[in-house]
Each structure stands twice: as C-alpha cells, then as structure tokens.
Amino acid sequence: MQLPREVLLGENLKGEVVNVAKRLSLGERALILYGPKTKEIAGKDVEKNLKEAFEVSSLIVRDATMGEVERTLDKIRDENVNWLIAVGGGSIIDVAKLASFKASIPFISFPTTASHDGIASANASIKDLGAKTSIKAIPPIAVIADVEVIKTAPYRYLAAGVGDIISNFTAVKDWQLAHRIRGEYYSEYAASLSLMSAKMVIRNADIIRLGNEDSVRKVIKGLISSGVAMSIAGSSRPASGAEHLFSHALDIIAPKPALHGEQCGVGTIIVAYLHGLRWEKIRETLKKVGAPTNAYELGIDPEYIIEALTIAHTIRPERYTIFGKDGLTREAAEKAAKITGVI
Ligand SMILES: NC(=O)C1=CN([C@@H]2O[C@H](COP(=O)(O)OP(=O)(O)OC[C@H]3O[C@@H](n4cnc5c(N)ncnc54)[C@H](OP(=O)(O)O)[C@@H]3O)[C@@H](O)[C@H]2O)C=CC1
Ligand SMILES: O=C(CO)COP(=O)(O)O
Ligand SMILES: [Zn+2]
C-alpha cells in the first residue's frame, strides 16, 4: 500500500508548495497542470511561487481522458520533468495521477474544490472509449489543501463532496456482496475507514451546510480518509459501487451531466433503497447540506435517470454490485426512482 508522505490542510498554502517540494527533494524541473479556470483561481500563483525555486513549465488540461494523459506524458518526456503538481478539481488530479505513474515520477495534489475523494487516492478515473475506467496508479506524494482556495469554489462543490463521501455506505455494501457472492478480496480495515468518513458527514451535516472554513475542513478530511481507504484496498471498491456506475452511466447518456458527487449522492439514495438500507437518512443528509436529491435538482430529465439505472451494470461488468449481472428492468428502475422521490 502506498500513501501520501505529507498532508497539509490550512490557509495560505500557495507558497508552501516550494517548501514541500524541497523537503521531499523532488528535483529541479516541475510541470504544473491546471484547468482554464483553476489556472486563474490558484494555478498562476502557485506557478509564480514555484518559479522562484524551480524550472517550471505548465499545461492546461481540459478533461480526464487518455488523450490528456498522453499529452502530459509527451510534455514530461520532452522537457525532462522530475515531478508534477496538479492544481484543480478531480479531473486534473486524475490526469496527473496516471501520467506521473506512467512516467515513474512523483506528483503533488493541490485541490481547488472539496467535490470528490480522488484528492489523495491511488486510483485514477479516466475516460477511455466512452466509459470511465478506474486505473491503478500512485497516490500523490503530498496533498496540499488550501482552505482559502477551496472556500472560493461555489457552495455546490462542497455539497457534491458530501455526495461522493455518503456513497461509501452503498459502495461498501456492494463490496461485501461481491465478497460473499464472487469471493472478491475484501478489506475490513479499508471498509471501516470508508464508512467512518460517511458517518462523519451525516454527523456533521449541520456544520457543513454553513459553508464556512470549518465546513471545508470537515469535508476535506472525509475526502482524504476516503481516498486513503481506496489506497489501502488497492482499488476504488470502498468508495465506488452501484451508485457510481449510475453516475458514470449518466455521464455517458445525459446531455448535460451534473457534478460527479451530485450524481453519486442521488445514486446512493436509490441504491440504499435497493439494498434495504435506511435511504431516507441519506436523502435527509443530502437535503440538509443542500445537495441535489432528485432529477429536477440535478437538472437531468427523469428519462435519463431510468435509462442510467438500466444500463449501469454494463459499464464495468467485472465490478459486481446490487445491479447484478443482468441489471434492473425498466419497471424496477422506475419503481425504485419513484419510491425514493428521485423522479
Ligand atoms: N480517482 C478517484 O479516486 C476519484 C476520481 N473522481 C473523478 O473526479 C472528477 C470529478 O471531480 P470534480 O472536481 O467534481 O470535477 P472536475 O474536475 O471535472 O471540475 C469541474 C469544474 O469545476 C471547476 N473548478 C475547479 N475548482 C474550482 C473552483 N475553486 N471554483 C470554481 N470552479 C472550479 C473546473 O475548472 P477547470 O475547467 O479549470 O478544470 C471544472 O470546470 C470525475 O472525473 C470523477 O470521476 C472522483 C472521485 C474519486
Ligand atoms: O469516484 C470514485 C470514488 O468516489 C472512484 O472512481 P471510480 O468509480 O471511477 O472507480
Ligand atoms: Zn466518486
């Protein structure tokens, strides 16, 4: 199991990157990855600080695709880069994660949102030939979570982070099912850590909904623990089950998908119902933090919700979940979505 060597959570950390990179002896030549927005939000400042101590080149990454990973790898080879830093959301961090793994160089994760639990995990979710695949890579050598930066993101992103964490309840249930039915490897320790994060967001929903610095700290800690649980498991199993397959299906078929964590949160309500869990408690927490709990709030037509539920089992057939081998019938999908108030 590999884990980050340093995790910093605090304020004004855009300059601290230099000290971390020096402490960890990462080397002379750095490559900074950011998106068009995150360049302005924090990327430019981090780059400026780094340039005082390192040779730095930069790359704008637009989405988490194999093409973007290849483009990053070309830059790493052309410029003899020693280490990477990703300043952005889950997509940018995943591209850095896979590119640094393929190039055998370290990377630093500098999240600009608290919307996903890929911040510290060792697996990268990359789109290849349509669907998202989960690829084993390396965790960041350091995580630098600057609350000042993350706080600037619209509140919607923080609520999405809650959705991504709460999905651990159903992900662990699916994992246990696969362990019993398919004899799949199961780690009780990873599962417990993952569940701990999910319980924590339920307990702290009132604090989180305030959207202040304390809220950001609570959610970030949950996201990091969830990522560590995935690293311990050696796969995304503790944090990605049927609810994630539902979200990946929506990403393929919905004309305008919502945020990953928002879709996973709604998926968790439905999948908790299918598992016979207390889905009302999941919905209540999501409502409390202001995350979407239905198709209307996701901005997705109910027809796509039903279709996503019926095709989700085809996305990663090797990942056994409550959807089983054959998936939900249209009638079952419609019934589950109606009973839980999603459509
Ligand atoms: N590997 C793993 O373990 C995990 C991976 N994931 C993956 O992460 C991705 C989801 O991440 P998520 O962060 O939700 O989405 P994205 O990384 O796709 O980012 C969504 C948008 O938010 C913008 N953004 C980022 N930071 C800010 C900010 N501070 N203020 C305003 N806008 C901002 C981005 O800007 P810009 O255009 O500049 O990039 C982008 O346009 C999915 O691909 C998912 O599969 C999710 C969980 C776990
Ligand atoms: O999003 C994840 C955990 O929150 C993990 O990603 P995958 O669903 O791509 O495995
Ligand atoms: Zn997720």
The domains of the chain are located at: 6-151, 155-339
Residue 89 predicted with pLDDT over 90: yes
pLDDT of residue 42: 98
State whether the beta carbon of 235 lies less than 6 angstroms from ligand 2. no
- Report helix angle 168-182 to 188-203, nearest 10: 160
Percent over 90 (pLDDT), the chain: 98
pLDDT in tens, 225-262: 999 999 999 999 999 999 999 999 999 999 999 999 99
Model pLDDT, residue 131 = 84
Instruction: Note the pLDDT of residue 70.
Output: 97
Assign 17 a pLDDT band (cuts: 50, 70, 90): very high
Calculate how far, in angstroms, residue 326's C-alpha sits from the geometric centre of ligand 3.
23
In this prediction the pTM is: 0.98
User: CATH assignment of 6-151?
Assistant: 3.40.50.1970
Q: Do the annotations mark residue 236 as ligand-binding?
A: no
The string of pLDDT tens digits covering residues 287-310 is: 999 999 999 999 999 999 999 999
| pLDDT at residue 296, as a whole number | 98
| Structure tokens, 149 | 């930066």
| CATH H-level superfamily of 155-339 | Dehydroquinate synthase-like - alpha domain (1.20.1090.10)
pLDDT value, residue 129: 76
C-beta of 164 in contact with ligand 2 (< 6 A): yes
What ipTM was predicted for this assembly? 0.99
- Does any ligand 2 atom lie closer than 6 A to the CB of residue 263? no
Query: Which ranges of the chain would DSSP assign to H, the alpha helix?
Result: 16-23, 36-38, 44-51, 66-78, 90-103, 147-151, 155-166, 168-182, 188-203, 205-208, 213-233, 242-253, 260-275, 279-288, 295-298, 302-311, 330-339
